[in-house]
Amino acid sequence: MATDKPFSRGKKPPYSSHGGQGRPNFRPRPKREREAGEVLWLYGLHTVEAALKNPRRKAIRLLATRNALQRLAERFDDGQVPLAAEDASPMQLDKLLGSEAVHQGCALEVAPLEPLTTVDLAGAKLVLALDQVTDPHNVGAILRSACAFAVDAVLTTTRHSAAESGVLAKSASGALDIVPMSAVRNLGDTLEEMQAAGFQIVGLDSEAPAPLDESPLRGPVCLVLGAEGKGLRQRTRDICDVLARLDMPGEIKSLNVSNAAVLSLYVVRKAID
């Protein structure tokens, strides 16, 4: 596997500048600009803390209430937030982020994370790949579980997948900036590259011939989960070295993809450690 080939190619996103003096502008960015991936807003104390502590993250602008800024400062060893904050009221943050956003009094404008390269996975023992999982709440919950099980990286697809967003980051409760996540242009090609580098590709499939806990697993592993309803795509299935299922003893035999991720990560981690 090449060591300088990025999983996801693209131009470096331009960073926005905020000129002028006086009262900050709290108007949300136009929807088209946010969808272009130039900048995004992260919110909530855990999420903002993790982003500010992530050396891979480019932080641009911090808005916070006085109380939230004090609580945020307590999370840093020197008691100092590493980015000057602009004073904001809860009402202003509601207007910026939407009334349903649980922002806890703080919001951080950031640039999207740079994509991982193949060299970033050198030495990885457990990688999780999501084959077109679109719900940002599910992806956020999966990231949180991935953090708990010390997953080295999470791969998603650039199309038909939940993009990096405030909702996803909030659901991940800081894990977005702890577990490296990268969107790949072609998941099949990426899995084949990883396979050539020695990864065992293990796909979770309800129709698989054997349960996951009875399957022969060895590290390094790339565990692949498919979208709810559709499951793994055919090419993904064909690439997998192992297809396995989770057997449920109850009347409901299937699980939400984020719950399936927890159980399967537990089984795989136990098998390869």
N-term to C-term CA, the chain: 24
- Predicted confidence at residue 63, as pLDDT, reads 97
Least confident of 20-24, 90-94, 146-150, 201-205: 20-24
Radius of gyration over every alpha carbon of the chain, rounded to an integer in angstroms = 20
CATH superfamily for domain 118-272: SPOUT methyltransferase, trefoil knot domain (3.40.1280.10)
Domain 31-110, CATH 3.10.105 — does that match?
Answer: no
Instruction: Report pLDDT for 62.
Output: 97
Angle (CA) 44 47 50, round 5° = 145
**pLDDT, mean of residues 250-266:** 90
Residue 163 has pLDDT above 70, yes or no: yes
For 208-241, write each residue's pLDDT tens digit.
Answer: 999 999 999 998 999 999 987 789 999 999 999 9
pLDDT for the residue numbered 9: 36
pLDDT value for 21: 38
How far apart CA 98 and CA 24 sit, in angstroms, is: 17
Structure letter (DSSP) for residue 227: B
Cα dihedral 28, 32, 33, 39 in deg (nearest 10): 80
- Residues 193-206 have pLDDT tens digits of 999 999 999 999 98
With beta carbons less than 8 A apart as the criterion, state whether 233 and 226 touch. yes
At residue 117 the predicted structure's pLDDT band, cuts being 50, 70 and 90, is low
Domain ranges of the chain: 31-110, 118-272
Continuous segment of H or E residues that includes residue 100: none
- Could you tell me which residues come within 8 angstroms of residue 224 by beta carbon, excluding any fewer than 6 positions away? 128, 129, 130, 131, 191, 201, 202, 203, 204, 232, 236, 240
Do 148 and 117 meet the contact criterion of CB atoms below 8 Å apart?
no
Interatomic CA distance for residues 115 and 101, integer angstroms: 27
Q: What is the pLDDT of residue 16?
A: 32
Greater confidence, 185 or 151? 151
pTM reported for the whole predicted model = 0.75
Measured distance CA(175)–CA(169) in Å, rounded: 7
67 or 158: which leads in pLDDT: 67
Mean per-residue pLDDT for 5-23?
Answer: 37
